[in-house]
Structure 1
Amino acid sequence: MSNVKYTDGATFRCLENLKEASLDISLIHTGREYCLPGHICSRSREEFIIHFVLKGTGFYSADGQTWSLSPGQMFLIYPDEPVTYGADETDPWTYAWIGFKGIRAGSLAAQCGFSRKNRVLPAPSSELITEYIDHLLEHRQLSQANDLRRQAYLLLFFAELTDFHEKQSGQNKKSHEYSTSVYVELAIEYITSMYQNGIGISDIASNIGISRAYLNSAFQKELNMSAQSFLIDYRMHKAASLLLGTDMSVKEIARCIGYTDQLVFSKAFKKKFGVSPKNYKTHQEMLEHFHEKQP
């Protein structure tokens, strides 16, 4: 392999000829280029390459097809395959790219949505793309630490591309890895450890990786109640325990169970127990006294 080369010019910035740092997946080259009008590339390469169109327009030809490309699109070049791509004559493109190889290279490209029939796809925002490309270029010095950093950023980049593809295709709305009972169990674990912090249903759903709607349907299926009802009930029972077992004020107890507004807490408590927090302790003592006198 040729010596590693770094170029930093006004229209072309590139890190290339990197060694394969891992059998799984390795960065071989990466960069950004502002192309001149009509600039053409026509050759095959040994590695996979994903190009991201940042500005301007151009074309890509492979396997007998040609695509016109514009900002917000990306295209994949497969190894050992003749391709041609080039900048428009009047509105030449600026693009970024990553070249990579390894035994996981093909599967990672597929996770991003690419296939031989889908070589051109929507791309994430240009800001996200340039952020990751810049991270890779900034750690260009050859060292074991930078080898690891480039590997880490490359994997994070693929994670972003995969996540973007799943959101675009709606896969994250259609499939859930676990049963509803597992999601409910995870949600309850989160509630019991975080209820004091003012969490809401969106926080719970986000923490376990599902939508609010799916979280609520899981609670309805498993417990015959909404996630919101469970959260409120849990907080109210914690508040009742504190009212009976401590000398804390109503305001302090409201804050302890995640309420910043004492009035909102008091209304919820009265709705649950039929008596205000202020009178709850006296009410419970009266009930106990009554039951003690029963024959």
Structure 2
Amino acid sequence: MEEDYFQRNKRFNDIYYLTKGTEACVPSHHYGPARREYYLIHLIEEGKGIFISNGVTYNLKKGQFFLIYPNETNYYKADEDFPWKYSWIGFHGENVEMLLKSIGLSKQTPVGSVENAKDTIKLMNKIIKAPITDNKSLIILQGYLYLLLANLSIGRDLYDTEHKSDVINKDIEYTNQAIQIIQDNYHRIEFSIYSISEKMALNPSYLSQLFKRTTGRTMNDYLIDYRLQKSREILDTTQESIQNISEMVGYSNPLSFTRIFKSKMKMTPSKYRKVREHYKSEE
């Protein structure tokens, strides 16, 4: 998996990048049920899979896309025989929902087909490979994002209504509850994965197994990723010390926080802040 992250740029209020990346999934690779705090478009470049949103299952393939809305629970899974390869773009902004509605996308219609699959996939690959070294490159990427949205269109033939009743099963319900507990308590230093099973009155081993089975990763991995997401937001918007930030996201030892941050972001929190401040100084 390859992924880039962006800082909030004051030049772009209507719509702005947060992340972009690509992944060639292994058979039956799945993600979720999970919620994002931003919009996320996945464009399928090869293979096929399913996307589940609001109790509806969509069967998707090359040249189609699915859109994740902020704070909506979703689940998606690669096909067992022909797993998909997709690229994604995460974004937010003041007028994003209006822009999406203008091309027919909504929470009720979060999937569709691109008008010219070959050209749109080329555009997406250009976005994924584009550098983010300075403001000029960001302006170019901003143009690409609008062009990508212009190539999207909704489809009415993507519903798989036969399995609606099977979508929200016990595993998904329990996993969603566990995710909510993590998001509500990630900042507490004394918070542990074991406390999740206590709150839910479930056997810890059973909960761990169903969470991994449903999301493809452990609860501890999810907790770490969520804490790092929150730490980047604090680094981007405040001058809090690294020690304070580590405590704000649930780490009592700033050295442990720095080590985990570096393993994920390939740079220390201090270096991350310097890079972001450099971009801000150019605005």
TM-score normalised to structure 2 length: 0.50
In terms of Rg, which structure is larger? 1
